[in-house]
Structure 1
């Protein structure tokens, strides 16, 4: 247990030195929140009721799909994996410590948005904060599981950047956080539902934590878990 906690602490320190993770988990999401929060609430005053959820969906999506996968490439595409094998450390430990560290980073960003949005933009706080943070934790975990698939299956940093953008942009543009999803053409709305963002957005709304909004996220999580298990098995053989 002590070794596991040490691994998480070490990964946290490495992540704090990672420019890609800091930019994707903190700098860009918070700048986007500060700049666009006022614009959204001015153009669409009713968005005060969902501003927190919308900004968190954007932050989590960027951190999970763009910020976290490069850390996995650094772990499993470098001498770190060799050190794991040489010292008898399970190959999956690198994934777990990266997941836990990224989870904490994204949770901190979410907490910052929850604290600042009512003060800066008169945003409405969720009526049930414990339920809201449970929904947030579920959404972060599912998003990170998909980011893990990207980081474990794509070995090239250039390809990873391209694929991550192809996952991130539709997640945001078709999720309903920028404008109501029912304004989209029917086929684009259906494409948007393939990504976790619209489900996570509805899950974090008041009284949104229900099986109707949860089932697809569960499917995504278990599918991603299976793919990651297969990828880690291959990493252990290489």
Structure 2
């Protein structure tokens, strides 16, 4: 337990001291939030209605997808995990600690966004604070799990960027963050339900912000939590200590199973 706490403390401090992680955890999401508040609100006043959850979702996407996978790949490629193995550090700690520290950074950023949005931009505050915190947790949990899984299955940093962008860019365009989900064509809207960000935005609207959900908001929250569990489980199962491992316990395509809850939800919703 002492070793876990020491490792956690080191990773948390790295998220502030490391320039790349500081950018992804704090500077990029907060800078984007301020820019959207001052620019987008003037272009589309309706954006303010969902600005707070949208910017929280953006912060989660940026910190997890752009901040977690690459350090995992680099550590594996540089043989750092092999030294961990020699010293008895379990694989599950290697994967869970970056996720937990990122979620803690995201909690801080979420508090900043939620507290300042009504003051700076007159954006509405959550109407149900418990549900708001719950949805943030399941979203951060799901995206941390998916990001860790990306880091495990990616063969190198270039592929890591590609995998991360396959989630990041469609989420910005289709999840209802920039414009309402109901404006999407029906077929595109169904495909958008495969994105964790779409499920989170739906849950925030229906359960925390006093709005009308586009589909079952409680199902969205449950699907996010299940997807996170599957992603972390697959990450542990597919984990390899270094790039010279001759064989894996499973094919990297098994990682797609983390999307299975959203596929099921797409048909149920």
**How many residues are treated as equivalent by the alignment?**
237
Verify the 8 A CA contact 1:8 1:97 in the aligned structure 2.
yes
Q: Which residue of 2 aligns with 1:156?
A: 156
The structure 2 residue matched to 1:230, chosen from 222, 233, 237, is: 237
Q: How does 1:61-80 map to 2 (within 5 A)?
A: 61-80=61-80
Unmatched tracts of structure 2, length 5 or more: 209-215, 246-269
Rounded to whole Å, the distance in 1 between the matches of 2:19 and 2:158 is: 16
Q: Which stretch of structure 1 is more off in the superposition, 135-144 or 78-87? A: 78-87
Structure 1 residue 186 displacement after superposition: 2.4
Partner deviation per Cα, 1:180-225 (whole Å, 9 max, x = no partner) = 1222222222221111001111222352595322232134223312
Question: 2:176 matched to 1:176?
Answer: yes
Q: Which residue of 2 aligns with 1:133?
A: 133
Question: 2:105 matched to 1:105?
Answer: yes
The TM-score, its normalising length taken from structure 2, stands at: 0.81
Question: 2:47 matched to 1:47?
Answer: yes
Unmatched tracts of structure 1, length 5 or more: none
Partner deviation per Cα, 1:80-134 (whole Å, 9 max, x = no partner) = 2122122112122111111111111111111110111111100111022232112
Q: How does 1:151-230 map to 2 (within 5 A)?
A: 151-205=151-205, 207=207, 211-230=218-237
Q: Which stretch of structure 1 is more off in the superposition, 54-63 or 199-208? A: 199-208
Structure 1 residue 175 displacement after superposition: 0.2
Verify the 8 A CA contact 1:70 1:151 in the aligned structure 2.
yes
- Find the residue that maps to 1:92 and give its secondary structure: helix
Q: Which residue of 1 aligns with 2:96?
A: 96
**CA RMSD in angstroms, aligned pairs only:** 2.0
Structure 1 residue 73 displacement after superposition: 1.6
Rounded to whole Å, the distance in 1 between the matches of 2:2 and 2:130 is: 29
The TM-score, its normalising length taken from structure 1, stands at: 0.91
Pair 20,187 (structure 1): closer, same or farther in 2 beyond 3 Å: farther
Pair 206,138 (structure 1): closer, same or farther in 2 beyond 3 Å: same
Greater than 6 Å deviation, 4+ residue runs: none
